[in-house]
Amino acid sequence: MRIMENPIQFVQWLRSVAPYIHAFRGKTFVVAFPGELVMAGALPVLAQDLSLLHALGIKVVIVHGSRPQVEEQLALRNVETHFHNGLRITDAAALECAKEAAGELRLDIEAAFSQGLPNTPMAHAAIRIISGNFVIARPMGIIDGIDLELTGVTRKIAYETIHPILNAGGLVLLSPLGFSPTGEIFNLTMEDVAVSAAIALRADKLIFITETPMMTDAAGTEIHELSAHQARATLNEGCLPADSTFYLQHAMKACSGGVPRAHIVPFATDGSALLELFTHDGVGTMISSQNLESLREATIEDVGGILKLIEPLEADGTLVKRGRELIEREIDYFSVIEHDGVIFGCAALYPFPAEKMAEMACLTVNPEVQAQGDGERLLKHMEIRARAAGFSQLFVLTTRTAHWFLKRGFVAATIDDLPKDRQHMYNWQRKSMVFIKNL
Ligand SMILES: CC(C)(COP(=O)(O)OP(=O)(O)OC[C@H]1O[C@@H](n2cnc3c(N)ncnc32)[C@H](O)[C@@H]1OP(=O)(O)O)[C@@H](O)C(=O)NCCC(=O)NCCS
């Protein structure tokens, strides 16, 4: 982008990303991708994007797949393998191919993270990638009477070794191979390693960057978000292609293992991981263990998020200026709408018990997501709060949002209609209009 052609847009964009940067700093993300991504030549760009996450203070664990690379090795060596229920039966010759593929991929990934030419996104990056015998595996065993030989499953992830590496600023790389106490090597799936790592490390996110296109429902509508409950229903419908089903099953497994969010993001879109993480709607599918968006009472941890949300409106005079201290003191009056850890909306309810009235103030919805009903949801919520507290009237003072309130049952009133204490605080310079709604 030629930044100086549109510096205002650039600054606005950078500021819009700030809440995500604050929310993600110090968090652990497990990022898993298939061997197809490397085949498609997308590794150097992914390395740049993941380096950026690392630079923003996110702890990154990478898990790579190797299916097409193993196929290549098998073909080169004329090794024939068999499958059972979609799982490769790994004999000694096939394992050699898996080792060869994983070794090559590891080196390619290390090389990609060593980029650092001046004027490229990775200049000054100097990222260190650490890999080792962090995945402990066991044989999958005999299924339906068929011995899967050296095909295994993850038994344990050496989280106690991985955490200090991440804390020291290293990136951890895991291959789809695991080791057993008997000294054997087992061939694993990338998805299994990624889910096990995300659960063991108590990761905040598991991100699959996939060769599959964006998931759609039976009607062909893109699926951007699913709660664990909705994800189960989608699987039961049986409309997803096999690859998407496989990813979704693993994402759900991670969520039920305690990972709050799993994302399935197609790598066909340039920068898809960044778009998914740093925009409200994303370009992939986010699966969450809880409800994604919550409307709840604010806590002291939300003060930073509320300030970020209202500061631009305070600056242009839409809202009255409140400092951090005031919001901290009055945090119990606030309710917020949170989405994936970021505050997208807020409102405050100030009580005037003597007159059985309450003031709704500071009603704000992030411009990125306005006109989707969040403002109305906040209003309804504040009405419920006010009624529950025994108030019979809700009032607002506004300079620019009169029509919004009129449309929602408020009627114009005068300053004399306000509670006595509020009349004394009325700011005659702002000349706000008064609207009241009977509850
Ligand atoms: C007012 C505000 C909270 C509404 O949030 P929202 O999530 O967009 O609200 P909803 O989705 O429930 O409602 C959107 C509707 O309100 C309309 N609307 C938005 N701002 C408006 C305004 N200032 N005056 C009149 N109507 C307005 C939209 O055009 C949209 O209309 P539509 O449904 O016919 O398309 C949001 O616009 C905002 O944060 N504004 C800046 C802060 C502000 O003015 N707060 C009030 C201080 S007293």
What mean pLDDT comes out for the span 368-379?
89
Per-residue pLDDT, 268:
92
> What is the enclosing helix (H) or strand (E) of 157?
strand 152-157
Q: Whose CA is nearest to atom 42 of ligand 1?
A: 364
* Alpha carbon 363 to its chain's center: 25
Lowest mean pLDDT among 77-86, 224-233, 341-350: 224-233
Ligand 1 centre and the CA of 405: distance in Å? Answer: 9
Determine whether the shortest distance from the Cβ of 376 to ligand 1 is under 6 A: yes
Domains located in the chain, CATH noted: 3-291 (3.40.1160.10), 294-438 (3.40.630.30)
Q: Whose CA is nearest to atom 43 of ligand 1?
A: 364
**In this model, does residue 266 exceed pLDDT 70?**
yes
Lowest mean pLDDT among 57-66, 160-169, 216-225, 299-308: 216-225
Q: Whose CA is nearest to atom 4 of ligand 1?
A: 375
**In this model, does residue 29 exceed pLDDT 90?**
yes
Closest by CA position to 149, among listed 242, 214, 84, 197? 84
Instruction: Report residue 332 as tokens.
Output: 């119990």
* Alpha carbon 407 to its chain's center: 35
**In this model, does residue 250 exceed pLDDT 90?**
yes
Ligand 1 centre and the CA of 328: distance in Å? Answer: 26
Ligand 1 centre and the CA of 424: distance in Å? Answer: 28
H, E, C per residue of 27-91: CEEEEEECHHHHHCCCHHHHHHHHHHHHHCCCEEEEEECCHHHHHHHHHHCCCCCEEECCEEEEC
Lowest mean pLDDT among 160-169, 170-179, 334-343: 334-343
pLDDT band at 373 (very low <50, low <70, confident <90, very high): confident
Residue 141 dihedral angles phi and psi, to the nearest 5°: 95, -155
**In this model, does residue 5 exceed pLDDT 80?**
no
Determine whether the shortest distance from the Cβ of 363 to ligand 1 is under 6 A: yes
pTM above 0.85, yes or no: no
Q: Return the DSSP state at 143.
A: E
Task: Tell me the one-letter amino acid at 178.
Answer: G
Determine whether the shortest distance from the Cβ of 211 to ligand 1 is under 6 A: no
Best substitution site from 318, 337, 370 to test ligand 1's pocket, by max atoms within 8 Å of Cβ?
370
Q: Whose CA is nearest to atom 9 of ligand 1?
A: 375
**In this model, does residue 64 exceed pLDDT 80?**
yes
Atom in ligand 1 nearest the alpha carbon of residue 400? 23
Determine whether the shortest distance from the Cβ of 374 to ligand 1 is under 6 A: yes
Atom in ligand 1 nearest the alpha carbon of residue 397? 48
